Amino acid sequence: MKLLWALAALLLCCWRADASTGPQISVEPSEVSNQTSAILTCNLTDSTLSSKGSYWTHNDKPIEKSRSSSSNYASYNLEKITYHQSGRYECVFETDPLVKRVIEVKTLPYVGAYKHSEHGNENDKSVLTCVAHGHPLPTDWMWYKEEGSELKAIVNGTQRYEIKSTPNKTMLTIEDLNIESDGGYYFCSGNNELGQNKDKIFLRVRSRLAALWPFLGIVAEVIILVTVIFIYEKRRKPDDVTDDDDSGAAPLKSNSTANHKEKNVRQRNAN
């Protein structure tokens, strides 16, 4: 039993030594928050470790050209920080095993509507979507509707609203669209520890009838066209038929034989 404990202790000690993140490296600054620029630095303070050099990673991807042959010092210059540059930076010293340390770079989240303009038909439902990028991602999402000059918060589960959110995406579903009250501007707002960003979406609600208009237009057009052709054909027929036997279109046969007789009568009268 004692042996087992000793073995466990030994394993634990060696495993610790292997997972070498931390005390051998000092960093400056320990975190970058809401800044437009920064210089990240790491010093390898444990001089017993021999390092072949160092490099940096951003969100676990090695940064090209960040490699340096300096064995105990690494720095990385962030000149213009936007949400693209936010995330986890890590300096890695090429010792055996590797030692590394994380510096987090935090910005306001980027928040953007999936589509800035949406439309739905009366009584249908509509889904408005916003996404977020950057680090940290929003921990809270809010939706607002513009009413006059104010923004009214939309509460999940009330009226016909449902909100579904993950850190990188939020969706507002509005059921049974109302043509009088639901059209207008909606805002999605994503909050992280530094603050919030928002974007807006315009929702247009069309009446059921409006959805039918194009169809009704086509039907009306066809009816008018058919009527015009019909009237025209009817008017034209008597004078157009000159040859006795060759009396034109088949569907008008009965009509044309009538015309035919009429014509013969007229011709006889003329003679």
Ligand X SMILES: *[C@@H]1O[C@H](CO)[C@@H](O)[C@H](O)[C@H]1NC(C)=O
By CB under 6 A, which span of 6-14, 62-70, 161-169, 219-227 interacts with ligand X?
A: 161-169
Residue 175 makes contact with ligand X by CB under 6 A: no
The first and second tokens of residue 126, run together, are 């509509």
The reply on whether position 115 binds ligand X by CB under 6 A is no
Q: Are 113 and 186 in contact (CB under 8 A)?
A: no
CA distances from 234 to 140, 199, 229, 238 (A): 73, 63, 8, 8
DSSP-assigned beta bridge partners for residue 112: 131
Q: Which of 59, 139, 156, 267 binds ligand X (CB under 6 A)?
A: 156
Q: How far is the CB of 35 from ligand X (least distance, A)?
A: 9
Indicate the residue among 59 and 156 with the shorter CB distance to ligand X: 156
How many residues sit close enough to ligand X to count as binding (CB under 6 A)? 18
CB of 96 to ligand X, least distance (A): 22
Site string for ligand X, 64-93 (x = CB under 6 A): ---------x--------------------
Distances (CA, A) of 76 to 34, 49, 73, 108, 205: 17, 22, 10, 21, 51
Q: State residue 58 phi and psi, 5-degree precision.
A: -125, 120
Beta carbons within 10 angstroms of residue 229's beta carbon: 10
Nearer to ligand X, 158 or 269 (CB): 158
Burial zone of 143 (CB within 10 Å; 0-12 exposed, 13-18 middle, 19+ buried): buried
Q: Which among 206, 195, 198, 207 is positioned nearest to 170, based on CA atoms?
A: 198
Q: How far is the CB of 210 from ligand X (least distance, A)?
A: 31
Q: How far is the CB of 66 from ligand X (least distance, A)?
A: 17
Contact 184, 152 (CB under 8 A): no
Residue 26 or 117: which CB sits closer to ligand X? 26
From candidates 51, 165, 189, 192, binder to ligand X by CB under 6 A: 165
Question: Applying CB under 6 A, does 168 fall inside the site for ligand X?
Answer: yes
Q: Which residues bind ligand X (CB under 6 A)?
A: 26-28, 34, 41, 43, 73, 131, 156-157, 162-166, 168, 194-195
